[in-house]
Amino acid sequence: MAGVVSWRPRGIEFVESAARQRAADYRERAAHLSVMAEAEPVGSLRTRLLELAADYDELAENLEMSRDGAK
């Protein structure tokens, strides 16, 4: 349709794609830290690894929620 103006500003697709990729990267880091924690014999280190994994999961979740809320 000629003359139709898109309601989405240019670059939004790129930003959404970047946020999606960052969220996936954070999920991957969280999974890696969880695997490391399973193999860690020192309890305090295992606990810290699991805390870091939870932090990365939370970052990913916040990115996904902000992306979904923007639609």
Q: Is residue 20 part of a domain?
A: yes
Q: Is residue 1 part of a domain?
A: no
Residues 18 and 26: their CA atoms lie apart, in Å, by: 12
pLDDT one-digit tens code per residue, 18-62: 889 999 999 999 999 999 999 999 999 999 999 999 999 999 999
* CA of residue 68 relative to chain centroid, distance: 13
Q: Is residue 56 part of a domain?
A: yes
Helix (H) or strand (E) holding 56: helix 43-69
Residues 58 and 34: their CA atoms lie apart, in Å, by: 14
Instruction: Please report how many Cα atoms fall inside a 13 Å half-sphere around the Cα of residue 8, on the Cβ side.
Output: 9
pLDDT band at 17 (very low <50, low <70, confident <90, very high): confident
48 by Cβ neighbours in 10 Å (0-12 / 13-18 / 19+) ranks as middle
Domain region containing 31: 12-69
Q: Is residue 38 part of a domain?
A: yes
Q: Is residue 47 part of a domain?
A: yes
> Could you give the number of structural domains in the chain?
1
Q: Is residue 58 part of a domain?
A: yes
